[in-house]
Chain A
Amino acid sequence: METYRSAAPEARGALADELFARYYERVARWCYRFTGDRESAADLAQDVFLKAHRHLDSFQGASQFGTWLYSIARNESINRMKSSPPRATDDEEVLIDLPDLAPGPEDIAAYKSRSRNLHQFLSNTLDETERTVFTLHYGDDMPLDAITRLLHFDNASGAKAYIVSAKRKIARAVQRLSARGERL
């Protein structure tokens, strides 16, 4: 990257290509795991590199280059998925209700405190894997099959097993709270 910055403008294109080529496989693998098919993955990867190329001058070296490129791949993947129509598997999954949360407070300090309490509730209720899957699926709308591939779940139902057990545990914990007259 330092070499790129100190290079003459005419030489930068070739240097950028060389820099990006080192990450072709990582980005290809990520996109393949995210999308599940190679044609979509190639389209996604192309967009990732196009965006990275456009913003290369803004990379300040505050992080590793690979981490910077990762953040582009991550955001591009999630944005693309949000702009696609919901898939049948996700629709089916949404039918399983999540516990309803009590209305949130209006002011920022109270909202932050409540969010922190709910994060703590999840940490106390779920194991690490369930919490990770729950966060990615419900926090980022990440498809369960993408989570399964990205996090290498080799059990029969993949990430879905963890989301089902997470919801059961949350429901039971909410019932216990209700029995004590408390709300989530």
Chain B
Amino acid sequence: MSQPRDQWKRVLRPLGDCVAIERFGEILMSEERAHIASCGRCHAEMELWKSFNDDATTPREAADVRWIVDEIAHRRAGEPAVVPMSSRKSGMPRMLFAASVIFVILGIAYLLNNRQPTMDVSAAHDLVYRSAGIKVIAPSGDVAAAPVRLEWTGIPSAVSYDVRVVEVDRALLWRVSTGETRVDVPPAVRAQFVPGKTILWEVTARREATVLAESGTQKFRVAVK
């Protein structure tokens, strides 16, 4: 690699106030939006993320993408199960234990050489301040029917509340901002609260761009009759 190319590579690294990739897809603060618009690094990252998240498969690539999807499914079906660390049980047979030790050693070596992906391509952004949490009133847990309203306790000095309703994989169903401590759910959104499906929701209290408090993730599920 040429020396100028190395120099430019260093220059093009994320700056300290660059927006972390994990923020993409969330409700961005005005400072973050302004930064992305003016920063070449963040703008490029956002374009790539959109390409992954929002694009549809084009007719020209459809056959190859279908082949790859089938291939992934086929290969994953044939993979030995990778058991997450928290799922492992004690008392395993000696051979399995020995295999696990080797796996762990290989895993450590792998991680040292190929570190776990971090969400942040930049330094941490320091715009969020949190204080007391928001308490959710309803809905929560199993409910008899699709809720018509979401309610929570207010935070003094909060000007607005951002509400997000998501599926269990955090795919967004609805988001809204309100000055009240409750919000009515539109019928089109309620229609997605089908019996047996767990729905998550979160409230963030703001004063302008400053986050004052968060509810944490709440969940409810319309009972199956």
| B64 touches A (CB below 8 Å) | yes
The answer to whether A100 and B72 touch (CB under 8 A), given A3-B168, A25-B57, A73-B52, is: no
User: In the assembly, what is the distance between CA of A32 and CA of B68, in Å?
Assistant: 8
| B40 touches A (CB below 8 Å) | yes
Q: Mark B195-223 against chain A: 1 for CB-CB distance below 8 A, else 0.
A: 00010100000000000000001010000
Q: A42 contacts B71, CB within 8 Å?
A: yes
Q: B168 contacts A115, CB within 8 Å?
A: no
User: In the assembly, what is the distance between CA of A73 and CA of B86, in Å?
Assistant: 24
User: In the assembly, what is the distance between CA of A112 and CA of B1, in Å?
Assistant: 23
Q: A100 contacts B39, CB within 8 Å?
A: no
Q: Which of B4, B9, B44, B55 is close to A131, meaning CB atoms less than 8 Å apart?
A: B44
Total number of A residues with any Cβ neighbor in B under 8 Å: 82
> Among the listed stretches B11-19, B131-139, B144-152, which one makes contact with chain A, having 4 or more residues with CB under 8 Å of it?
B11-19
| A61 touches B (CB below 8 Å) | yes
Contact-residue size bin, chain B (C-beta under 8 Å from the other chain): 35 or more
The answer to whether A104 and B10 touch (CB under 8 A), given A28-B69, A98-B2, is: yes
Q: B4 contacts A1, CB within 8 Å?
A: no
Q: Which of A4, A13, A25 is close to B65, meaning CB atoms less than 8 Å apart?
A: A25
Q: A64 contacts B25, CB within 8 Å?
A: yes
User: In the assembly, what is the distance between CA of A136 and CA of B13, in Å?
Assistant: 10
Most buried by A among B26, B41, B65, B107: B65
| A87 touches B (CB below 8 Å) | no
* Residues in chain A near residue B16, CB distance under 8 A: 112
* Residues in chain B near residue A62, CB distance under 8 A: 22, 119
Q: Which of B72, B82, B89, B219 is close to A45, meaning CB atoms less than 8 Å apart?
A: B72
Other A-B pairs beyond A55-B116, A135-B12, A136-B48, 12, CB < 8 Å:
A26-B53, A45-B68, A50-B79, A63-B21, A65-B171, A94-B5, A97-B2, A100-B3, A119-B15, A132-B47, A135-B44, A139-B9
Chain A residues in contact with chain B, CB under 8 A?
1-4, 9-10, 12-13, 16-17, 19-22, 24-33, 38, 41-42, 45-46, 49-51, 53-58, 61-68, 70-76, 79, 94, 97-101, 104, 112, 115-116, 118-119, 122-123, 126, 128, 131-132, 134-136, 138-141, 150-152
